[in-house]
Structure 1
Amino acid sequence: MDVRFDLDPSVTPGLRDGICALWADVSNAGGAVGFLPPVAPEEIRPDLLTHLTAMAEGRTRLMVGRDPEGRVLATAFLTFNGHRLMTHWLWVYTVMVHPSLQGQGTGSRLMAAVAEAARGFDGVTALRLTCRGGTGVHRFYEACGYKEVGRVPGAIKLADDDFRDDVTMWLELS
């Protein structure tokens, strides 16, 4: 499918609703993006508003992938690090690809677009993200050039008897 990636699109009600719908679809398909299924877009909206507020304040940027009709199919938020000794790298949050497109290269293209955009930000030399252990998604990020640089065992609690590692991944942009 033809997916076009744009950095910092205008935040319209359609974009906002599209991201909420994508987030719910990814979560309900078992994606590790901060919610457990079942979840509805209304439950996700407060988290999205936090991201959108950070965008309005200039602390976060949005990479969005859409089909020719404008449907939101992929996202990643790039957040500037506020610590004065760590402004040379960005956090990458809420990386999502619609479940119907997973395994077709859209995720790799999204991550390449994120890295290319970050290379254009003054002084940024690396990207950092975290992912949930036990999902295998760290292998996807490794295929995109990221390296695992840390792991906190059992830091993510999905249920009383289901704890997962929090895996930190790093990409040098050189």
Structure 2
Amino acid sequence: MAAHETVKSPEFAQFSRPQEITPALRRELIDCWTAVSNAGGAVLAGGFPLPPVSTRDVGPVVDQIVHGLDPRRGRLLVAAVEGVLAGWLILRRDPHPLVTHCGVVNHVQTHTRFRGLGIGAALMRRVPGIARDEMGLERLGLAARAGLGLEEFYAKLGWAEIGRWPGALRVAPGDDRDEILMSLAL
């Protein structure tokens, strides 16, 4: 889908229990993550290799995420356009007792077919309300890969850069990137 095409506004769904994830949604999550990773997206995770990746690589990591869903500790937020998964993210409460008032946003993804349509921004605009109103969180954090303009994307949505871990992410031999730490007060 090209950015110039007319697209309906995304519809959002939130999942907070593993049993809510249908086999079809699981396949769409895996397909999205595979496509995004293979296109150079910054959503790599422990558990599978650097691109190119296959559904066989991504599936077990998606399953771990699904099994971690819980109304108090972890939510999956999905954006769909005309019934097709367009993007998703994970919102988690930090489990440590000193910071249970804080949450973390992970795996923010827009399927490559829906890039440039504002899906990622729409997902990120929904997160603060869910975190604050439904999970009782007071602050959110996320980590982003330098070199892709992600810090500017998140800053436009109200997030503040609070630090960097220089050279922490080795994308490829000779291509080390900073990990950018960002925060949002709710």
Same fold (TM over 0.5): yes
8 Å contact kept, 1:128–1:171:
yes
RMSD of aligned Cα (Å): 1.7
Q: Which amino acid aligns with 1:143?
A: K
* Identity across the alignment (%): 35
The corresponding residue for 2:13 is 6
Unaligned residue ranges in structure 2 (runs of 5+): 1-6
The corresponding residue for 2:3 is none
- Give the alignment partner of residue 110 of structure 2, picking from 82, 97, 102: 97
8 Å contact kept, 1:118–1:124:
yes
Q: Distance in 2 between matches of 1:171 and 1:56?
A: 22
Q: Distance in 2 between matches of 1:123 and 1:105?
A: 27
8 Å contact kept, 1:76–1:114:
no
Unaligned residue ranges in structure 1 (runs of 5+): none
Comparing 1-10 with 84-93, which one deviates more in the overlay?
1-10
Residues 1:143 and 1:57: Cα distance change in structure 2 (over 3 Å) = closer
The corresponding residue for 1:55 is 69
Q: Distance in 1 between matches of 2:135 and 2:32?
A: 30
TM-score (structure 1 length as normaliser): 0.92
Q: Which amino acid aligns with 2:42?
A: A
CA offset digits 1:24-69 (Å, max 9, x no partner): 1111121100163321122111111111111159531110111222
- Give the alignment partner of residue 50 of structure 2, picking from 27, 36, 53: 36
8 Å contact kept, 1:108–1:144:
yes
Q: Distance in 2 between matches of 1:21 and 1:172?
A: 33
8 Å contact kept, 1:67–1:73:
yes
Task: Count matched residues.
Answer: 172
TM-score (structure 2 length as normaliser): 0.86
Are residue 168 (structure 1) and residue 168 (structure 2) matched?
A: no
8 Å contact kept, 2:72–2:135:
no
Q: Distance in 1 between matches of 2:143 and 2:69?
A: 20
Q: Which amino acid aligns with 1:48?
A: V
8 Å contact kept, 2:86–2:113:
no
